[in-house]
Structures are given as structure tokens and as C-alpha cells.
Amino acid sequence: MTKQTDLFGEERSRAEKRMRGLEREIERHNRLYYEQAQPEISDREYDALVHELEELERRHPDLASPDSPTRRVGGAPAEGFETIRHAVPMLSISNTYSPDELREFDKRVKRLLETTDPVAYLVELKIDGVSATLMYRSGALEYGATRGNGVEGDVITNNLATLPQIPRRLKRWRGAENASALEVRGEVYMERAGLAKINEERREAGLELFANPRNATAGTLKRLDPREVARRPLRFFAYAVGLVEDYPLPDSQGEILEHFEELGFPVNPQRWRCPDVEAILDIVAEWETKRKDLPYDTDGLVVKVDERRLHAPLGATSKSPRWLCAYKFSAEQATTRILSIEVQVGRTGAVTPVANLDPVLVAGSTVSRATLHNRDEIARKDIRVGDQVVIEKAGDVIPKVVRVLENLRTGAERIYDFPTRCPACDSSLAFSEEEVAVRCENASCPAQIKERILHFATRNAMDIEGLGDKLVDRIVEKGLVHRFSDLYALTVEQLASLERMGEKSARNLIDAIEGSKKRPFPAFVFALGIRHIGESVAALLTAAFPTIDDLMKAQAAEIDAVEGIGATLAESVVAFFANAENREEIERLRHAGLPMALGKEEMRAIRLRERAASDASNPVAGKTFVLTGTLPTLTREEASERIESRGGKVSGSVSKKTDYVVAGEKAGSKLDKARQLKIETIDETRLLRMLGEG
């Protein structure tokens, strides 16, 4: 092997490792934003992660994962609600952050439309809430749903129907009385005054406070009891259409919003028709500061090509339409002083530094703490105790230190020495050259216990409603809970004796803990908190190893062989189950009645896929397909679902491992690459014949 070849191999290895790491990080932030309404980073930081992954996928298309987060939108549908497939996918919106980026968007629109004439846009405030869709047939509300992952969402009709702004029957109906459909999409939100009232009630009840209006809105819509939703001050603005069948619509976005008002929907009055991009920038300049006078939160402007006839030729990427974008307002900043720095310990033992600040008002709330991310970040920015610093709320939510004002230093500032021992248990901290994080490796560390219990109880894990930060602090400090299994031994009497915990609240929590035993097996595996194992990986693991005993006995090579799981993840799983204390905990949880295997329906679906894949006469089994362009009758999601149900695989990029490229109208660069690599290209008719449907 030549030195050049060796270096190329090392570069690919580094790229693959970084790509897998970015995928896990982006998926984590997707869950935090879409499903838990608890973002940790700003939109700008999130977009930077996505762009880095997109660039690596462009340079190494054969290393791209078929289910890469660059190809998907949003989070998973929630448990407890019926799931529905959106008739028209609810795509995300691409972001711009500067006038130059907005002008570049305008140039791209003109280039795609092959025109040099100015393009008119409709500009609307981007409300910081939760997207929802409402399906009306013959003028009556058929169902309402969340955005979910963009393809599927949760049916929350009864919850949405509690909002007085959402009509059960439309005031006017232009379509055929018994046939037509109109899907209205919009934003559910809460005003800041409403949040303040709710948080005051929660403070008196000893409950965890909502961080912001969006967090409160998302949490409310996930409630299973519509009566509880009705007590929350939710509001709604309509802003777009989804599926339209036999229903005549106006020719522009501005006129559609006016028509929504005629139908009985509230529409944000803050909207403007701009003849060109420069007019948009005038609105940007005005509303950067004026937005603070609004009673609700808005983090930007949505810019849409106003003429609807231009939307189809502009088309969409797999994630977002090309005829609209969001302009994100800059985060509000303030200057303050770092009083001290301390570290917090997470559930995996990762130690995160936090700055205690001289309290300062930022984006409408008083900030006294800000994340410093890690020790490398402290060194890179040369952050010292006593420094005057500029802070901002990332996405107007998460406070962070942007930069140090070095010119204001007096000489009294102190360099921060990162601790060598855990602040919670006094164990030695582990420093590794392979990762940025510093860790406490003591599994009995009380700080880790609290974080692990909180993770175990989250909605996407065991979904134990009512088990929040403050209550977990109390039950751990009182010695009632040291591990997951202790939760299932708690009694109403023990909980009712805690401060601010009455018998009714205690009973509700015990019922929620008991109800968690009905959670699916993949959720249980995710709840265990195995390092690097998120929801999607837990689903892959349990499909390959359908019982906890299968998973506990699996060797690293067997786990590594599962598609979508690499060596690092495999080693993490093996290490977790090699720990005697973890195995003992599994047995305690088994005895408590938690799910230790896939259910019958889940097993049946897996067996059907395996049977299809092993059928020698099945021309799809084991083959890799790439879809490009618009197919005559199938959506891309439908085609993917049918291929996978017959044992095939669908990839997002063309490589030498691709067996077939399915090309539709306006096929792009993937078709060109298929021809270069001499990969067989087929149309929808041929695909349907291979699937046994033609």
C-alpha cells in the first residue's frame, strides 16, 4: 500500500467517524427541539452542524447514511396518540441570517425561474410556536395533527378543537359539498402573559416551570386530556395550505391569507407584500427591535414567493421548499460579568462548565447563568472569572457567552482551573484525548443518578409524567431512589410525605410509573441511557435482537454487523451489559414487569420484512435503490415504503453499491452520476413490476 493510499484511507476513516458523530448530535438536537421543546443550541448553530454533514456527504456520498438527518424533518410522532400520514409532507424552512444570504435566496429564485425581473414576496412574522395542520372536508373539521417528523404526525383533533380560534365548521365553503378537501396549516402559540400566569400556578404547586412559551405550548398539546388543554391559553394563526382537492384557491399567498379570514381563521395582521428583496430588508431593519413590543415571541420573518403559480417550477429539496425561506433575527445580546464558574454532571458523567453571572436582562428575562460548553471552549475564548463578557440567548432561549471584552480587564480576573475531582461525589475526573468531554466515571455519583432518572422518565423513554427536576432532586436526596428499579417500589405514602407533594399528586405519579410498564421495548432500551444509543439506534438494536437476553448476549461483531450501527456503538452496548451492576439492574426491572421483548405486532412486521428479503424470487430483496425526480403516481415516501417492505433498501445518494436508480420527471444530478457509474436506471412502471404490483 502506498503512502498516498494510506493517507486517503485515514481521511475517509476520519470523515466517516465525524459523519456518524454529527448524525447522532443532530438527531439529539432534533429530539430536544421537536419532541421535548427544550433546545440547547441556536438555529444558527444547528444549521452549521447540518451544513457540515451535508458537505461531508457531498465529498463522500458512499459514506452517507440512508436515514441521514439531512434528509428528514422534525422529530418522531409521540406515543399515546393515533399517527397519521400527512397527505402533503410538512417540510421545514431553510434559514438565512444576513442581508447577503437573503439576497442570495432571491438570486437563486430568479435563476430557477430563469428571469431577471424582480420577484414579489409576501413577508410574514415567524411565530415561535408549534406547527399544526387541520383537514377540512365539505367544510367540516375532519382531524387536526402535529407536524411530527414531517411525514407522519399525531392526531390531536380534540386538543386543537379546544382553541376558540379554530372553527369546527368553516364560515364559507367554495368546494363541492361532498367531495372536496382543504388542509389549513398554522402555528399554535402562547403569549408571554399567558406563560407567566401558568408558571405562577406551577410555582405555587411546586412543579417545574416552563422555560418559554414554545415549551409550554408543546407540552400542552401533548396532554392526553383535552380538558387540561382547554385550561391553557393557547392561540392559533393560519398561514398555509396543505392538501387541496376540488377547492378553488386564490392566486397569491396574500390572497390566501385573506381567504382564511373569510373562512373564520385568525391570521397574523403583521404581513407585507414586497415588490423585491430590498423592500424585505427594510422590514427586517424595522422589526429587529419592534418585535419586542409584540405580546408573543417571534424569532424571524418568513419570506414566500407571493404568486402560487411559481411554486411548482421552483420545487423543493427533500427537506424544504425552494419558494420560501426564513430570515432569523439576531439574538439579543447584553454585557455582564462572570462572578464564578462551576461544573454540572450529566447522566453519562459528562462534566459541563457553567458561568454564574451578574444578573442581566436579555430578551425579556433575567439571566444569571450561561453555558460554557466544555473546557476547550473556555481555553479557546480565554474566559476568566471576573471577565466582562457579551452574552446572548441562543435562539432567544439558551444563554451562552459569546465573547470576552478583553479591553475591560483590570488584572484582577482569574484563570479558571478545571477541577480534577467530581463536585458531586469527589471521584477523580477522567480526561481523554479522544473527546472533548471530561467525565466522572463513578456510576453511583448522585448527580448522575438524578440525570439518569430524568432521562429514564422522558416522554420518548418511559414517559413518566410528573417526574420533573425538582421532584427527582427530592427523591434522590431523601434516599428513596438510587436506580431505575427503585421507582417501581415507591409508595403513595413515601411520596405524599415529601414537601409540596400531596396525596393526589403522589397517586398520579404512582399511576404514571405503573403505566410506563406498557411502553414498547425500543423505548425501554433507549431509557437505559446506554452511551451513544439514541431512539433510532435503539429501534435498530431491538429489531436485530428482539429480547433483552438476545441483546445482553450479543457480541460486538454481531452488533456491528447490523446496518446503521458501527463499531463505536457496538462497543458501547457490549460495555454496558458487561457491567455486573447493569445486568443486576436489568433483572430488577424484569421483576418489576418492564418490557423485555418486542411485542407480537412488532415481531410480525420484522418477520414479514425478513421473509421478503430472503425470498430468492424477489427481485427487490437485498437491492439498493436511489430515487430521483418526481414519479408519476408514487410519492418518494410511498416508493421507499414499498421497496423496504419487500426487503430492499433505499439510499439518498448514488454510489457503486447502488443497484438501481428510479428516475422520474426532472431527475437531477443523481441520474447523471448513475450514468457515469453505469448503474441501471428504471422508471416507476419497471419498479412496480419488480414489486409485483405492475
Catalytic residues: 126
Provide the angle, in degrees to the nearest 10, between the axes of the packed helices 567-578 and 580-592: 80
CB 23 within 8 A of CB 69: yes
d(CA 158, CA 156): 6
Cα 635 to Cα 147, 325, 619, distances in angstroms: 18, 23, 21
Give Cβ neighbours of residue 308 (< 8 Å, ≥ 6 apart): 249, 250, 251, 252, 253, 256
Four-residue CA torsion sign, 646, 652, 657, 663: positive
CB 165 within 8 A of CB 236: yes
Question: DSSP code of 33?
Answer: I
Query: Which candidate, 165, 235, 233, places its Cα nearest to that of 197?
Result: 233
d(CA 409, CA 388): 7
d(CA 532, CA 583): 19
The pairing of beta strand 234-245 with beta strand 140-146: unpaired
Question: DSSP code of 360?
Answer: E
d(CA 392, CA 403): 10
Q: How many CA atoms lie within 13 A of 432 on its CB side?
A: 11
Query: Which candidate, 174, 304, 165, places its Cα nearest to that of 250?
Result: 174
Rg of the chain over Cα atoms, rounded to whole angstroms, equals 27
d(CA 461, CA 114): 49
Query: Which candidate, 187, 189, 209, places its Cα nearest to that of 198?
Result: 209
d(CA 492, CA 503): 7
Query: Which candidate, 683, 652, 685, places its Cα nearest to that of 669?
Result: 652
d(CA 158, CA 82): 12
Q: How many CB atoms lie under 10 A from the CB of residue 221?
A: 23
d(CA 345, CA 343): 7
d(CA 265, CA 268): 10
Q: How many CB atoms lie under 10 A from the CB of residue 4?
A: 8
Q: Phi-psi region for residue 107, left (φ > 0), alpha (ψ -120 to 50) or beta? A: alpha
Strand partners, 370: 355
Burial of 559 (C-beta count, 10 Å sphere; 0-12/13-18/19+): buried
